[in-house]
Every structure is written in structure tokens, then in C-alpha cells.
Structure 1
């Protein structure tokens, strides 16, 4: 029987962050469990997670780091320069890899820089089906399936952006969660609003260094009895400075590129962190959170979740001072009922997880081509 192979085109960098690769690794694990071989195609960008992909046991094809910095003259997609090369160069390099393995079944794309012009030409050159992971709904796609795990005020946000025949998996039922979160949810303890343990995590790269801003607040002696977990990604440029500082504080615990985030979230009474995909992990486990937006694409999601009462949003990183963090943290410490309500509303926000139905539909799509 011919093996089923899926390539995933995705990048991580200091600029892009690590969330796209991390969620694709979760999908890769789910596909592997049903007998699909997964290969990654990633560019060698500063701050990438290519080593992590290899460490997880997946085949990786590395696209070369551009020698000169590419600046796009087109502005339809503000994220287009994240490819760091002209889109046609990126496309042709990807096509050459796909054509080198004739058993390839389809391509999954999780990249803000790629849109329908890239996808359409890819399909014409390879004939392979395309599946898109997106959460912006800001550009057109040529694909057979699309997955957007975010909630939105615009239920028809992809109408006119994808072919009418495209199968859409939209909303919180399709949040991409690692198995560790499912396991943690089973034994999740009910929170009583008391804040004795705080989890700080601002994503894998934390480009605005919100972690250290938050540390400056939490080092206050008034928080010395609180257990504080500081989590950073391997792509965090300031990780060594953060590590050194944590080592000087007896109630601070430093973690880098961990595999037990669900456990730490389950143990925490409060989180301080950014928006992005981690938002849904926290909500799934009912973890109350003080949030700081660190990227424009987080704003709509955080506003929606804040309006649901599932988080306490502090604002955009450039406007959030250590004093603001301290003020809101003290308010929550003094108001356990507020913390309890946040936890319950976060839990209520999340529907039954149905990501496996997406996996099954992709497998069926692959089988239809045999």
C-alpha cells in the first residue's frame, strides 16, 4: 500500500514567533497516530524552531536563509515580508521539494505570508491538494480545506476568500490542543480564587520582552509567598538574563521550551501572558489570566475573550506599565470571587474539542485522490 505523506509549510522566527510551528507539531502528532507521514518545510530564519522539529522525529527540509533582506513593494498583506524572500522564490523552492517525493498526498500551509497567488500556482505545478491553517481572514486562499480555530464576530469571514467548494472548520471546537491538555482537563481541580501560584508565559519569542517587565513587578517582597513559574521559549533573545534573575529569587522557577505546559497551567491560580494560541489553552483549563497584547493579530481575539469575562485585559504592550500590572494583580488578589468567575467563564467559553473531525476529513480527502 502506498504510504500517505503530508508536507507542512510553516516558519518560526523572532519576528513570526513560534506559535505556528508549535500548533503544526500538534497536528503532526495527530496525523502520525493515524498512519500519515509528516514532513516539514521551513526556512532557516533567525529564531527558528527547526531543531525542535527534528528532535520530535520529523523529517525537515530547510529552505536557505536569504543572503539579502527582501522588502516587498506590495502592501495588500502586511505580513508578506515574513517570507524574507520573493513569494515566487519561496514557491518554487517548495515545489522542488514536493516533486522530489512523488508519494506526497497534500500540502498544509500555516503562514501569514502565503495567499491564493502562491497556492494557485503551487496547485497548477504539482496537482496536490492544499489545506490552509489561518486565523486572520485578511486575504484570499486557493485551498480545499481551511482551519481557523479562533472565535470571531464575523461568522462568514471567509466567504469570498476561499472557493465555494472549500470545506471550512471554523471556531473553538477546532482548537489545536496537545494531548497533555486533554489529560489535564480530566483531573482539573476547581479553583477557589486564591492566588498562591502564578504562571508567566508570553510565547516562544516574546519580542517585546513582556516577561522581564512582569518579573520586575513580581520581585516585590509582597509576592514572596507566591510560587511563580516563568516560562520562556528557546527563541527568546532574553532567556539567559531572565534565567539569571530567576535564580536569584527563591520563589521563582525558570522553565525553557517545556513539554508540560498543561501541568503548569493546571497548577496555577493565575496566568500573566500574551494573546495568541495560548489563549485557548488557558481557557480550556479555566486558568484566569491578565493579558497583554504583543502583536496586532491578537487584538480582536483578546477583545472578544475579555468581553466574555474570561480574562482581564491590560492593553497593548506599548501602553502597559509595570504599575498597571501591579495594580490589576493586587485587585485580583483582593477579589477571589472575581478570579473564580473568570475561571468559570473561561471554561464555559470552550466547546467540546472536535479537532479529530478535521484530521479525519483530511485523511478522507487524501484517500479520495487514490
Structure 2
């Protein structure tokens, strides 16, 4: 199988689309399949190529995908690809129908925008609902695709299949992740408020930052002044960083499933519309505490830190959150996706 991956990353949309596709590609590669990325002009190329994949750069914008169809058709023909995996919120039905005439298509979704006219639909999120899709396809009169649904299919890097879940007796190490781009400047906000809160003075705090972090210099200054707050940029050992933590503060994106695979209690929050359903569902399941949407909560930072303090004072709660998180996904999702794709489209 030769797969083209159509996904983008930039300061506006972060890196999540590309990162989850990289996990699927690694699993495809292990089974002997080839993968090539096709990205809009403002996607950083190095972190894809460093994982061993070639990249085609389009001359069009990430949010005007219909403009790229002619060039994409040329790439499909040139690469002799037989599968196109698309991960973007900016597809139109016309776009999907055009590429479906050329190649088998797979779409990764988490927002239920419309009845995507594709051959296979993937939604690995904890709130994914096959019945909701079935109703959508029936209502819109679009042929229902094969569906790969639920968090057992969460595509994580292979290292997350190795379980090393430890019981948490005390909250001493805290990890913070706000995603690859941080357009709302949350990392700096956390660093600033943590540096002035007496409760956290004896805690070791690791801030995980993306390469597009806008406030790196200000965060560096706070870290140098406080000594117990550390920052790491574009980490290669995410699993180790999560495992070192006793609790994680994280945006409700792809990192949530890595946290689950490591069995860590988490205070999660949303900072974009597509993150709200996941944050709410994780909170409903009791795996995480959902601190709400940062965009409409003036007391956001205090709510998050108070939630951390609540877990720190209740070891039984930390243990229960850890157990529930570890039951959501086991790290083998990418392998399962590849197994389903092989059954659908051949080896």
C-alpha cells in the first residue's frame, strides 16, 4: 500500500493533525507500507522528515484546500498512491468527492461537520458516536463509509504500548502541556501564576512547549528565577516526561490519549471548539478533571491550580483517576487502524 497523508501544522492550528498521522504512518511502515506527506506551504517540514517521511509542499494555503486539487491530482499520479489519508478541518464535500474519484480516501474526524463522502471514516475520540454518524449520513443522503470509531483506535507512538503505570502516593512532579502553538499564551500564564503560588514552591514543574511557542523568552526568564519550573521545547521523549509526572495539566487534544496510556490523573481544559467535547467527556468519565474553556473563564488559571491542589490532598482521588484513565486506551490504536485499513483496502 502506498499512502499519501494530507495534513498540516502551523501556529494557528498547532501540530496535532500531523502528529497523529505520524503515528498511523509509523504503524503502516512497520507493516511494509509506504507513506508520503502532502502539506500546505506553512507547515514545518523538519519534524516530519526527521521521522523518516518525504514531504510534498503545496503552494496553496492550509485553509483553502479546494485550490490545491489540480496539484494534488498530479502528486497522486506521480507517487502511484492507492490511499489518501486526510486530516484537516478545511475540507469541503466537493474536495472529498473530487479526490474519491482518483483514489481510496480515509478521513480523520472529530467535529461531525457533515457526512464526509469518503471510503473510510476514523474518529478515535472518547466521545465518538457511530450512531450519530449513521444518522448524519442517512439524513444527508450520502453513502455510509466504513467506520473506525472509539478510543481503542487512538493513534499513539509505539512507545506508549509499553505499560509502566505506578501508583501515585504524593503529588510532587507536575507536567504542563498546552499544545504545539499556544496561540492564547497559556504557557506563560501558567509559569507566571505558578511562580507566585506558595503551594507549588516545593513542586517540580515541567513545561512542555512546542517549537512555535510565542513566549519562550519570557518563560525562560521565569524558569531561571524560580529554579523549580523547567521548560522543554519540542521534546522527543514525551512518554518519559508524562511518566515522571504525578499529575498532568493539559489541553484536551491528542496528548490526552498519551496521558491515558500512562495512567496519569490530569486536569484538562479546552482552548478551541473541537477540544470541548473531549474535555467534557473525560471529566464525565472521571478520568480527568475538566477545568472548562479558557476562552470564557476569567478565573481559568486559578480553577486549574485549585483542581491540582484538590487531587494533591486526596490520594484516593488520584488513584481512581489514574485507574479510569488507563482503561480508556492502551496505546495500540495505530496498529488497530492499520489492521482495519489492510482489511478494507488490501496489503
Q: Give TM-score scaled by structure 1 length.
A: 0.86
Shift of 1:352: 7.8
Query: What is the match of residue 93 of structure 1?
Result: 71
Q: Work out which structure has the larger RCO, using CA pairs closer than 8 Å and 6 or more positions apart in sequence.
A: 2
Query: What is the match of residue 37 of structure 1?
Result: 34
- C-alpha offsets along residues 235-258 of structure 1, whole Å, 9 cap, x if unaligned? 222233323322332112211111
What 5-or-longer segments of structure 1 have no aligned partner?
A: 67-82
The partner residue of 2:188 within 206, 212, 234 is 212
Structure 2 counterparts to residues 1-370 of structure 1, below 5 A: 4-45=1-42, 48-64=43-59, 66=61, 83-85=62-64, 87-101=65-79, 103-124=80-101, 126=102, 128-152=103-127, 154-159=129-134, 160-161=136-137, 164=143, 166-183=145-162, 185=163, 187-192=164-169, 194-219=170-195, 220-318=197-295, 319=297, 320-350=299-329, 353-367=332-346
> In 1, Cα distance between the equivalents of 2:144 and 2:2?
23
Shift of 1:144: 1.4
Shift of 1:329: 2.6
Contact 1:115 1:142 in 2 (8 A): no
Residue-pair matches, total: 340
Q: Give TM-score scaled by structure 2 length.
A: 0.91
> In 2, Cα distance between the equivalents of 1:260 and 1:34?
24
Cα RMSD (Å) of the superposition? 2.0
> In 1, Cα distance between the equivalents of 2:333 and 2:233?
30
- C-alpha offsets along residues 271-308 of structure 1, whole Å, 9 cap, x if unaligned? 11110111111122221111221111111111111011
Contact 1:7 1:39 in 2 (8 A): yes
Residue 33 to residue 153, structure 1, CA distance change in 2 (3 Å)? closer
Deviates more, 1:171-180 or 1:244-253: 244-253
- C-alpha offsets along residues 142-201 of structure 1, whole Å, 9 cap, x if unaligned? 211111101227441221439545211100110111111112x1x322222x10100000
Shift of 1:337: 2.1
- C-alpha offsets along residues 74-101 of structure 1, whole Å, 9 cap, x if unaligned? xxxxxxxxx333x431222211221222
Contact 1:149 1:174 in 2 (8 A): yes
- C-alpha offsets along residues 112-169 of structure 1, whole Å, 9 cap, x if unaligned? 1114321111223x2x111111111221212111111012274412214395452111
> In 1, Cα distance between the equivalents of 2:29 and 2:264?
30
Shift of 1:326: 3.1
Shift of 1:19: 0.4
> In 2, Cα distance between the equivalents of 1:291 and 1:43?
30
What 5-or-longer segments of structure 2 have no aligned partner?
A: none
Secondary structure of the 2:267 match is strand
> In 2, Cα distance between the equivalents of 1:327 and 1:34?
46
- C-alpha offsets along residues 16-61 of structure 1, whole Å, 9 cap, x if unaligned? 111000011111111111111110000122xx33221122221100
Residue 328 to residue 119, structure 1, CA distance change in 2 (3 Å)? same
Deviates more, 1:217-226 or 1:32-41: 217-226
